[in-house]
A and B are shown apart, each in its own frame.
Chain A
């Protein structure tokens, strides 16, 4: 699959499944009908080898799918299911292509006893109570697969109104194997896919704002005719183009380097903040309501800023690594000499 063929072929599927004129509703659990139509195509299993139960394709394809998920404010755990299935497939576990999976984005604080029973807490699990399985990589390098039906689920929502749950495990039987994917690598892939989703949401926010400011008349002309309003459109476009370039740039690297991914996530976080502000300012009061669709994008942007690296942690770690590296210029210019850093 080539990048253009992926986004071209799937744009229609996304546009009809998540139409841009749909009335926004907060999800109430996992919409199994839509999930089945998506999982039948195997969208969440792209960049997992077919002989491991995946859909094939490469990281660039997967990034395009995540961008589309962001553009269309998809209310399903596509990215989360991918992350879980990817770790499982890598670690030799069979994946069920119909299953919805998720991973904890917060700390994994779990111990497993000799009988294979897990106790502890999985925090910040998107759709944690409604997916089929939750997959976590523990501090000691194990991968555990949990059936949330056996866990005590404390339901919550993220800033975008999407389920984000906490799972309490009390001697729950789990599948446990040695994880072939270190925790750091999972964090990096999470960050890359969040950057991609943010890029998509920024593209959609830029387009929505451009359309609105062309249609909204005040003082006898479209507000987009005012230079002060155009400045917001320009900023939105810059943030969308830049964030898209970050996601696509990471996808063509031979391997995901921590410095690159963390820098991209940090920039995406800051871009999301600036763009959300500009989009709301250009929209005025209507953009502050739940009847209008802008909040589907900006609330997700606010929420995703915290996943796979928050702004302060990322900047502190990248800065410390850069200060310790032999050359500042090389950090920027030289792919072979990026500072060493851990996510």
Chain B
């Protein structure tokens, strides 16, 4: 395991932080937008486009493809401010965090020119097609299949528990192209309005409809939809994990709830609440330092997969614990339909927080990733 080298923000990075803050204060005044829990923020294409116009979507993508050519740390600074406000990041989130960087790394020149500028303008929205009804944590067991057909591929099968697919323009999916367990997997980028692809929302536990099932029936895609080499899907997918797991989104879901709670007169007057608030703010401060160190490792060209897993595993559990702490101080059961947006958000957090230790790698899988990292030292 690499050591997490301590780091602070440079003068330029702090200037960016102030710039983002000022923009969001203006663009998202309190009460003016529906509050979201971290990466599960609302889908608002207009907001995503406005953010992109500032240069803050696809920041870490290369400039020649419309990206910002900025660092992982600079991207983190923008993301932190968004999540702190519960901003509607749902439309561009996956493309910005994961699919864009993956296309930049693994895509052909044509794919980069075709897709990255749209991602950086906040116009394209991606969903990730990984899980299947019989394939969750054991991702190498996926069965949805792509078979060569004419000059392209014919895709059949089912992807499930895919967030944001109903509003996404593209799905980046992992499909079986041969029987070799890991070497038989290939990634494809499928346009979501393609013939034969049916996207059906699955009502989530809080009643929202972001979760989807994707049914592929003889979906034809040209070979230009293939991302990377045939059989390279597994390793490309693994490479995305450091991006998916190590970020601040793994401990900032609850920030808008915590902000409102910490500001409330009840907390200000309650020494009992101070004890709990002190614990929460300290641990988040500590996680922030670790996330920043991980982002610096990414900028140094490393792929800190084990470090990202180490942070995600404990940070997501702590987020859940924090929900319970805030609820305990609330004094009654919060109402999901409350007119008070923060009460409603707290109610939603109680319902959805079990997903935080499941999505992006379950606690159990992460522990085995970390344990393997310990053995291989």
Contacts and interface: CB of A to CB of B under 8 A. Distances in A.
A234 B367 contact: yes
Given A245-B289, A327-B259, A328-B262, A322 B277 contact: yes
Interface in A218-250: 227, 230-231, 233-234, 237-238, 241-242, 244-246, 248-249
Most buried by B among A263, A323, A324: A323
A237 B310 contact: yes
B323 interface: no
A98 interface: no
Nearest to A331: B281
Interface residues of A, number: 46
Contact of B282 (A210, A266, A335): A266
A241 B4 CA distance: 8
Interface stretch (A24-32, A33-41, A103-111, A311-319): A311-319
A328 B14 contact: no
A72 B368 CA distance: 29
B370 A318 contact: no
B281 A238 contact: no
Interface string A251-272: 1110000011011101100100
Nearest to B289: A249
A241 B368 CA distance: 17
Contacts of A323: 262-263, 267-268, 273-274, 277
B271 A316 contact: yes
A68 to B, nearest CB: 15
Nearest to B283: A267
B289 A230 contact: no
Contacts of A270: 279, 283
Given A315-B278, A322-B277, A332-B281, A234 B313 contact: yes
A323 B280 CA distance: 12
Q: Which secondary structure dominates chain A's binding surface?
A: helix
Given A245-B4, A333-B17, A335-B9, A322 B278 contact: yes
Interface residues of B, number: 49
A196 B280 CA distance: 21
Contacts of A264: 282, 286
Contacts of A230: 367-368, 371
Contacts of A140: none
A263 B282 CA distance: 5
A71 B85 CA distance: 41
A329 B281 CA distance: 9
A242 B311 CA distance: 9
Contacts of B284: 332
Given A237-B374, A238-B313, A242-B290, A227 B262 contact: no
A316 B275 contact: yes
B208 interface: no
Nearest to B5: A248
A253 B8 contact: yes
B281 A320 contact: no
A114 interface: no
A18 B338 CA distance: 62
B368 A227 contact: yes
Most buried by B among A233, A252, A317, A319: A319
A233 B80 CA distance: 31
Q: Which 4 A-B pairs have the closest CB atoms?
A: A319-B274, A319-B278, A315-B278, A318-B278
5 contacts: A241-B290, A252-B8, A264-B282, A327-B259, A329-B81
